[in-house]
Chains A and B, each alone.
Chain A
Amino acid sequence: MNRSERFNEVRAIADDICAGTVTQAQLQELEGLLSNDEQAQRFYLDYIEFYIHLKSNALPKLEIVRRKTVVDELIVRPTHAPNSPHERQPYEATSENRTASTKRKLYLAGGFTVLCMLVVYLIIQVKPLLEEPFVGTIVSGDLLIDEKGNVQNTLVFSGMYKTERPVELELRSGDSLILSAYSHFKLFNATEIELKSGEISIISHSEKTVTISTIASDIQMHSGKLTVNVNSDTTSVSGDANAKIFPKIWRPKHFWNFDDVGDRVMDFAGRAVGVASNGAQRTHGLVGKGAFYFDNTKHARINVGSGGGSAPATGSFSVINGVTIEALIKPLYSGEGPTTTRYGEIDEIFRKDQSDKDHRMLLSFQNDRNKSIVVPAGDYTESLSFGLYILGQGYHELKLPLDGRDGRPTLQQLKDGNLHHVVATYDVKSGVKAIYIDGKVGALYQYPPGSKVLSGGAGLANIGNSPNAQGHAAEAYAGTIDEVAFYDFALTPFIVALHFKNVLKGLNYYGKQPSAEALPYKNYIDHTPDKTLLLDSITGLPKDDF
């Protein structure tokens, strides 16, 4: 007997609670059914939680908004001269009929005034410098006040400004700030500046950490000279300073690094906890403690669910700006070609679809012939394939032939017993679809820029197999897979190469020691002195350096 049969009466009342039609008599009955029965209580809570989870509008519409305001906005100013002696002061009322209540109010008001003055005096005495409002002084040029700015003689206060000609400021920290003509920026304080457009150079004299925020990244430096330039497409960072770039978007949606233990496969970036079937066994990590070995049978799979999707373009596998599938592999793919059909051996590294049909997304080894969905079309044999549904185009697969030409590896080279890094990306803004092996791009295709992806939905995602191939082993992976990451944006070529470099050092993709812990929410990339880094305008990730 299942739980809903066992607790049928509780369930019936819970259904009426969900429908909003429960009566007082039913509630009394529920009280009796639940009292001192832990199993019934557990069922009741589970059932109500189940209803709330199913009903997409059950929760009130709330959002958490983080507001970034100007720092040091609190300004203590001298008070104005007292009111004219001709004006009647509230406490100078002359009425003979003043009541005791009025007297008490006046005493209270007087006491309150004295108390306020005392607090102001203490603030001024205890923190004489901390609340000083001005941020720096103008050395040359003029600032135009855009919003809440304030310039008194040469003193510059917190606020938003523009320039029409080059301007040099000396910040209170002693650092120099040089702004190009037509820059638009916000001064928070002497160590925090937001650059909206134009160019800022910081020359550090104080060795204090200075943060320059742009729309997609924060840049921190504390010595030398650093120049940040923001235009409509790109942000560039250059100079002789060591700096840290904190991109706003870098974290994968899902990250299964397999360094955990137990019967579930933890997702260290999201909530797509996986279930491994018995053809997928934990083994030594390609980096970190653990990886999974897939035995090429129909049970060689880790089911990581649908990401909560219920319809196309919903759930955590649904993407807007682009997508990346990244993994480390040590393949044993046979590479067998087709015999009776168009399809030869397929080894899925990652595949999301099931009932979504054309809206699938996959990265796999394939060897097939005459497939109309291959774009660009060609005569391919053994290949790495990246399949994606692009609006206006349909479902297409990009092939990276394993032919040993133009710097591409052969299948045998991939089966050399070493780890290999495979990455598939699609960037909506540029329309570029790419497959990388070991940090280098091996296949590229350009769609019309802005072409969107249709993904997500109710279908399941599997690592090491196809969720559609439950009863056979035609798409089962053979070999080891580690560090699978799924992103809702395209990693840049620079970052793909950096991830591979980090992996070769035994670190995770993000330059940290591998561990069974959730990924942090902030991460940085080092800027090398005397190099120029170009940052992506959506993610803030470095695209290129020179």
Chain B
Amino acid sequence: MSQCVPSPHHSRESLNTTADTFADLFDLEKRRLYAYIYAFVLDKAAADDIFQETSIILWKEFGTFEQGTNFRKWSNAIVFNCVRTYRRQQKKHVSGLSDELLEQLSVVTSHQDNTDQKWSMLQHCVSQLSTTAHQLYYGFYIDNLSAQAIAKKTGRSIFGIRKSIHLLRRKLFDCVDRQKVEHET
């Protein structure tokens, strides 16, 4: 479903700049925002719905965002409000984490560091993978093949592939963590 929302806070003259600025800031943060939503609702369909709703609210409220301040913190607050609203509306159907834990997690995200550098480090870590691991990385994360499709392609069991994917993710995560610590020290 597409939704069209005019910005209520800007004259037409400044609309191009505002829209461009929003698009760029949103583009930088969208994966992180989606990740937070997913981490709270644990369901892809619900996360997709909330993400779309959040995107629209961010745009509608963008007039209240002060240029030069922290878009990340500003958008975090809106994301959590959207998740809270969703959980309130879907109370009967929501499963997963409690409201208390959600509040605790929202506090943690407000203290999260700038993570841009992390993704540069990830590329370095990916470049150090073995050929087999790189093929798995490419198939699962870039070509978006399912574990089952990779199992069929490689002749391995689906459980084996799932285990390899978990190991690969863990290896890359640890590598990025390690790099981050090295750079910080």
Using a CB–CB cutoff of 8 Å, the interface residues on chain A facing chain B are 2-4, 11, 15, 17-20, 22, 24, 27, 30-31, 34-36, 38, 41-42, 44-60, 62, 64, 66-67, 71, 263-264, 271-273, 275, 303-306, 308-311, 354-355, 458-460, 520-522
Q: Are A11 and B170 neighbours in the complex by a CB distance under 8 Å?
A: yes
Our pick among B20, B34, B101, B140 for the contact of A31 (Cβ within 8 Å) is B101
Our pick among B17, B123, B141 for the contact of A305 (Cβ within 8 Å) is B123
B80 within 8 A of A: no
A41-B105, A64-B22, A273-B117 are known contacts; what are 19 more A-B pairs with Cβ within 8 Å?
A: A2-B177, A27-B95, A45-B39, A45-B108, A45-B109, A49-B35, A49-B36, A49-B39, A49-B115, A52-B38, A53-B119, A53-B122, A56-B144, A58-B31, A60-B48, A264-B117, A275-B120, A275-B183, A310-B126
Q: Are B39 and A71 neighbours in the complex by a CB distance under 8 Å?
A: no
B175 nearest in chain A by CB position: A2
List of B residues within 8 angstroms of A57 by Cβ: 144
Q: Are A59 and B176 neighbours in the complex by a CB distance under 8 Å?
A: no
B184 nearest in chain A by CB position: A263
Task: Report the separation of the CA atoms of residues A60 and B22 in the bound assembly, to the nearest whole angstrom.
Answer: 18
Q: Are B119 and A308 neighbours in the complex by a CB distance under 8 Å?
A: yes
Q: Are B123 and A53 neighbours in the complex by a CB distance under 8 Å?
A: no
List of A residues within 8 angstroms of B96 by Cβ: 27
List of B residues within 8 angstroms of A4 by Cβ: 170, 173-174, 177
Q: Are A30 and B97 neighbours in the complex by a CB distance under 8 Å?
A: yes
| Interface CB pairs A-B, < 8 A, 20 | A15-B169, A34-B101, A45-B105, A48-B39, A53-B31, A53-B119, A54-B172, A56-B142, A58-B31, A66-B19, A273-B120, A275-B117, A306-B123, A306-B127, A310-B138, A460-B123, A460-B127, A520-B17, A521-B24, A522-B17
Q: Are A458 and B127 neighbours in the complex by a CB distance under 8 Å?
A: yes
B21 within 8 A of A: yes
A-B pairs under 8 A by CB, number: 166
List of A residues within 8 angstroms of B15 by Cβ: 66
Given contacts A44-B39, A49-B32, A62 and B169 within 8 Å (CB-CB)? no
Task: Report the separation of the CA atoms of residues A3 and B177 in the bound assembly, to the nearest whole angstrom.
Answer: 8
B28 within 8 A of A: yes
Task: Report the separation of the CA atoms of residues A263 and B121 in the bound assembly, to the nearest whole angstrom.
Answer: 15
Task: Report the separation of the CA atoms of residues A165 and B147 in the bound assembly, to the nearest whole angstrom.
Answer: 65
B166: min CB distance to chain A, Å: 5
List of A residues within 8 angstroms of B48 by Cβ: 60
List of B residues within 8 angstroms of A30 by Cβ: 97
B66 within 8 A of A: no
Task: Report the separation of the CA atoms of residues A308 and B35 in the bound assembly, to the nearest whole angstrom.
Answer: 18
Q: Are A66 and B16 neighbours in the complex by a CB distance under 8 Å?
A: yes
B42 within 8 A of A: yes
Task: Report the separation of the CA atoms of residues A56 and B183 in the bound assembly, to the nearest whole angstrom.
Answer: 27
Task: Report the separation of the CA atoms of residues A20 and B165 in the bound assembly, to the nearest whole angstrom.
Answer: 14
B115 nearest in chain A by CB position: A49
Task: Report the separation of the CA atoms of residues A390 and B169 in the bound assembly, to the nearest whole angstrom.
Answer: 34
A40 nearest in chain B by CB position: B108
B171 nearest in chain A by CB position: A4
List of B residues within 8 angstroms of A19 by Cβ: 147, 162
List of A residues within 8 angstroms of B39 by Cβ: 44-45, 48-49
Q: Could you mark each residue 92-126 of chain B with 1 if its beta carbon is under 8 Å from any beta carbon of chain A, else 0?
A: 00011110110011001100100111011111101
